[in-house]
């Protein structure tokens, strides 16, 4: 295990530390919560613990299924050792059901099923509010090469397919998911986290929201939603 050195970065939900291994970072998950590009701020009890644990489960699953990602190993309740990434400044959202901003943009009620998954891209820039862009913007601005975007798109759809199938027997619907990618030694890897912060999870039977929308929309029982996702994943992992 490499030693932890100075903090490199602190974001809205995580801290990133340099280590004595130049190829590895330590990511520490915080309880801080933000929404609407930082306009709404708060804290969710033990969110950092749950997001770290849930992300570990998903990253290990994706590794088994052949999706290259930055996860190396867990480091305590809230820490994760990951491969260093030069982040591609393009966030990818894969949507399976109409929810959130898509409902407003297409004029369809939330919960409307889509005939096929939708891929959306945003320029990763907090100051600009992560504006939506398309592949023409991405290529013209030089954020990612066409062949890199081809990999990113294929991997995003694969992640969506794997997680949708994995969650179905656990009574969870994957409504949509936000993904980030980066470059590590010339290879495109999935990075960031996969958690109730970056996904919309609904209970398959009741359609109850089990994700950060409970914080965004002041629905209450926010901590319980994170706990419920972790509980279902953990029970299946132990029983399966």
Alpha-carbon gap, residue 54 to 35, rounded angstroms: 20
Q: What pLDDT, in 10s, does the model give residues 7-65?
A: 998 988 999 999 999 999 999 999 988 877 667 788 899 999 999 999 999 999 999 99
Alpha-carbon gap, residue 173 to 164, rounded angstroms: 7
pTM: predicted TM-score of the whole model, two decimal places: 0.93
Apex 178 CA angle, 173 and 183, nearest 5: 135
Residue-wise burial string across 128-155, b where 16 or more C-beta atoms lie within 10 A, e elsewhere? eeeeebeeeebeeeebbeeebbebbeeb
Q: What pLDDT, in 10s, does the model give residues 63-85?
A: 999 999 999 999 989 999 999 99
Predicted confidence at residue 183, as pLDDT, reads 98
The CATH architecture assigned to 4-83 reads: 2-Layer Sandwich (3.30)
Q: What's the mean per-residue pLDDT of the chain? A: 94
Instruction: Identify the three-state secondary structure at position 151.
Output: helix
What are the structural domain ranges in the chain?
Answer: 4-83, 86-221
Does 86-221 carry CATH code 3.30.365.10? no
Q: Are 171 and 232 in contact (CB under 8 A)?
A: yes
Name 152's Cβ contacts closer than 8 Å, sequence gap at least 6.
88, 90, 92, 144, 181, 188
């Amino acid at each position: 295990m490499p030693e932890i050195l100075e903090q490199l970065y602190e974001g809205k939900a995580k801290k990133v530390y340099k280590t004595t291994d130049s190829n590895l970072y330590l990511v520490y998950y915080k309880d801080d919560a933000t929404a609407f590009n930082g306009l709404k701020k708060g804290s969710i009890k033990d969110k950092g613990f749950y997001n770290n644990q849930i992300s570990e489960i998903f990253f290990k699953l994706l590794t088994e299924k052949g999706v290259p990602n930055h996860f190396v190993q867990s480091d305590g309740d809230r820490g994760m050792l990951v491969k260093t990434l030069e982040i591609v400044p393009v966030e990818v959202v894969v949507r399976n059901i109409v929810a959130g901003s898509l409902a407003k943009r297409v004029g369809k009620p939330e919960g409307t099923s889509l005939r096929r998954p939708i891929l959306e891209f945003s320029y990763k820039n907090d100051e600009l509010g992560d504006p939506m862009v398309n592949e023409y913007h991405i290529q013209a601005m030089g954020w990612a090469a066409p062949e890199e975007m081809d990999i990113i798109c294929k991997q995003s759809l694969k992640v969506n397919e794997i997680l949708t199938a994995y969650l179905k027997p656990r009574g969870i619907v994957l409504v949509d998911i936000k993904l980030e990618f980066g470059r590590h030694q010339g290879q495109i890897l999935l990075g960031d986290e996969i958690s109730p912060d970056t996904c919309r999870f609904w209970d398959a039977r009741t359609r109850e929201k089990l994700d950060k929308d409970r914080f965004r929309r002041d629905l209450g029982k926010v901590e319980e939603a994170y706990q419920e996702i972790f509980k279902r994943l953990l029970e299946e992992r132990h029983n399966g």
